[in-house]
DNA sequence: TTAATTAGTGTAGAATGAATACTTATTAGT
DNA sequence: ACTAATAAGTATTCATTCTACACTAATTAA
């Protein structure tokens, strides 16, 4: 029985985290100004190297926490990038993760301390290496995700209006949706609770607030559906 | 400007290939008897280590060729497995790929020389490490794929009957489909050409042979659809 | 009181999906 | 030559879902 696979090449393995958020300005992504060479000072995804004694999932969580202080964020792995010259310094394979989080809950203070910054998807700067490609793949994945799983619990405040939910979906799918059809499709998913409370900020009439029914929402997360928006 | 990221851990990175095939006995998967320790002689996916100067895609192609002689097989990356103790010998992260191929075209001779063997999905042996988990994830991916992209070109002979196509889908989805509805749904995709030729082996009456319209098929590969079977 | 703003709601027609059975072509066997 | 056996092949109805589309309601600021 062997103790090791001698003579095989070893490589650096990193994780990169794509964190989506949403607020009344639209869909955003969390970036950092890279603190070390090469490309120091350029905008970048939050990334770091895998350590010998941790899984990729753990590494992704650790890296995100390091840059933002964020805890307990569930990220989903989506692709390993391995072009030989993707990192000019040294051969590095990077496994990309993405997650959705609520901007307001996740305290601007922490993010400020850590120098991470939210950017509108549409105004994202050029990023280092192949990070722009990662983001666009993650966007594609997120778009796709809306058609099989509910989205929103992670991105909206606890109480939200139908309009906010509609605008979230429009931001993700990057297209206008018909309000009436949208509402009836969302209602047919049966994951919302209509509250006896109105948001009076956005209109004279005021619009009802909703929240997600956590249990039903989580159930739908497991047993996919098909939603055609 | 740095020349390297010193002090970061390096790890072994491998690829594992899940090759699906189909014949009149059903859906199959290609396995090898592992030729080295540990677990020598046990059944395993075809795998190998990433070299410093190749991408993961290239490594997957190289590994598959090494074990089977197969060339020009397009494989799709689907997940990186990274549990710390997944390989008992040494820390190894493995990136899994899958592909669909035509059993008949890909010459039994080569496969014999190389000791790879087809197994029915339903009679698959216990595999080493986390390979069974990889296979079941790949199956899930394949199942899912049938609802957004055409499947079959890669798995069926050039000319095939509706029944064969139906049985392929039944094998992948692991459920009975209604023949009449299946045919009309497949026809609505507009990717088949009905030939003026019958297969007389499976019935007295004989059943028409079809082939895929390569151009339309490839177009559908790019622009997903939704197919509810 | 009026004007302005956004919320909120319904329907008809079209398209798609699901469920269901009988006829046809052919050959093997008698 | 006839019959039996086998799988192929084909249509329709009903239910559901999707799409397109426009007016009324509630409220407050002026």
Percentages helix, strand, coil for chain B (3-state, rounded to 5) are 30, 30, 40
Report the first-to-last Cα separation within chain B, whole angstroms: 56
Cα-based torsion angle of the residue sequence B216, B222, B226, B229 in order, rounded to the nearest 10 degrees:
60
- Positions of chain D reached by protein Cβ under 7 A: 4-12, 17-22, 25-28
Q: What is the pLDDT of residue B114?
A: 74
Its sign, for the CA torsion A128, A131, A132, A135, is negative
Q: Mean pLDDT over residues B18-43, rounded? A: 91
Cross-chain residue pair B80–A77, CB shorter than 8 Å: yes
Q: Residue for token digits 């603190």? A: A35
User: Nearest residue to nucleotide D26 when comparing alpha carbons to its C1'?
Assistant: A205
Inform me whether the pLDDT recorded for B28 exceeds 90: yes
Inform me whether the pLDDT recorded for B107 exceeds 70: no
- Please list every residue in chain A whose beta carbon sits closer than 8 Å to the beta carbon of residue B1: 37-38, 89
Inform me whether the pLDDT recorded for B112 exceeds 90: no
Residue bearing the bigger pLDDT, B207 or A35 = B207
User: Nearest residue to nucleotide D22 when comparing alpha carbons to its C1'?
Assistant: A180
> Cβ distance B95 to B134 under 8 Å?
no
Nearest residue in B to A224, CA atom: B144
Q: Mean pLDDT over residues B110-133, rounded? A: 90
pLDDT-derived band at B109, boundaries 50, 70, 90: low
What is the distance in angstroms measured between the alpha-carbon CA of A185 and the sugar C1' of C10? 14
Q: Would you say domain B13-146 falls under CATH 3.40.630.30?
A: no
Q: Would you say domain A12-146 falls under CATH 3.90.79.10?
A: yes
Nearest residue in B to A38, CA atom: B1
Q: Which fold has domain B160-222?
A: Arc Repressor Mutant, subunit A (1.10.10)
Q: What is the pLDDT of residue A203?
A: 84
Q: What is the pLDDT of residue A109?
A: 66
What residues does each domain of chain A span?
Answer: 12-146, 160-222
Its sign, for the CA torsion B187, B192, B197, B201, is negative
Q: Mean pLDDT over residues A99-114, rounded? A: 79
What are the DSSP calls for B146-197, one per residue? HTTS---TTTS-SSEEHHHHHHHHHHHHTS---HHHHHHHHHHH--EEEEEE
Say how far apart CA B107 and CA B68 lie, in whole Å: 10
Per-residue flag: A184 CB under 7 A of strand D? yes
pLDDT tens-digit profile of A171-211? 999 999 999 999 999 999 999 999 999 999 888 889 999 99
The pLDDT mean for chain B works out to 92
pLDDT-derived band at A140, boundaries 50, 70, 90: very high
Q: What is the pLDDT of residue B127?
A: 98
Say how far apart CA B154 and CA B157 lie, in whole Å: 8
Per-residue flag: A207 CB under 7 A of strand C? yes
> Would you please indicate which residues of B are annotated as catalytic (active-site) residues?
115
What is the distance in angstroms measured between the alpha-carbon CA of A150 and the sugar C1' of D8? 43
Q: What is the pLDDT of residue A53?
A: 96
Q: Mean pLDDT over residues B125-132, rounded? A: 97
Q: Mean pLDDT over residues A84-101, rounded? A: 96
pLDDT-derived band at B39, boundaries 50, 70, 90: confident
Percentages helix, strand, coil for chain A (3-state, rounded to 5) are 30, 30, 40
pLDDT tens-digit profile of B153-211? 999 999 999 999 999 999 999 999 999 999 999 999 999 999 999 999 888 889 999 99
């Amino acid at each position: 029985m062997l103790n090791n696979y001698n003579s095989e090449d070893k490589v650096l393995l990193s994780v990169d985290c794509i964190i989506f958020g949403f607020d009344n300005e639209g869909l955003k992504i969390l970036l950092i100004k890279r603190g070390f060479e090469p490309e120091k000072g350029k905008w970048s995804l939050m990334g770091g190297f895998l350590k010998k004694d941790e899984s990729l999932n753990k590494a992704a969580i650790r890296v995100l926490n390091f840059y933002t202080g964020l805890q307990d964020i569930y990220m989903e792995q989506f692709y390993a990038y391995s072009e030989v010259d993707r990192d000019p310094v040294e051969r590095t394979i990077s496994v990309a993760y993405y997650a959705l989080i609520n901007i307001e809950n996740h305290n601007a203070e922490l993010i400020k301390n850590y120098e991470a910054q939210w950017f509108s998807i549409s105004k994202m700067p050029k990023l280092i290496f192949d990070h722009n490609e990662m983001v666009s793949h993650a966007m594609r994945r997120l778009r796709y995700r809306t058609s099989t799983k509910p989205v929103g619990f992670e991105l909206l405040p606890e109480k939200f209006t139908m309009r906010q939910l509609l605008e979230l979906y429009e931001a993700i799918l990057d297209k206008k949706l018909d309000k009436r059809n949208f509402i009836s499709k969302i209602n047919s998913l049966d994951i919302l609770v209509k509250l006896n409370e109105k948001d009076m900020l956005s209109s004279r009439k005021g619009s009802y607030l909703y929240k997600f029914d956590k249990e039903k929402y989580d159930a739908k997360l497991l047993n996919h559906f098909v939603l055609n928006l």
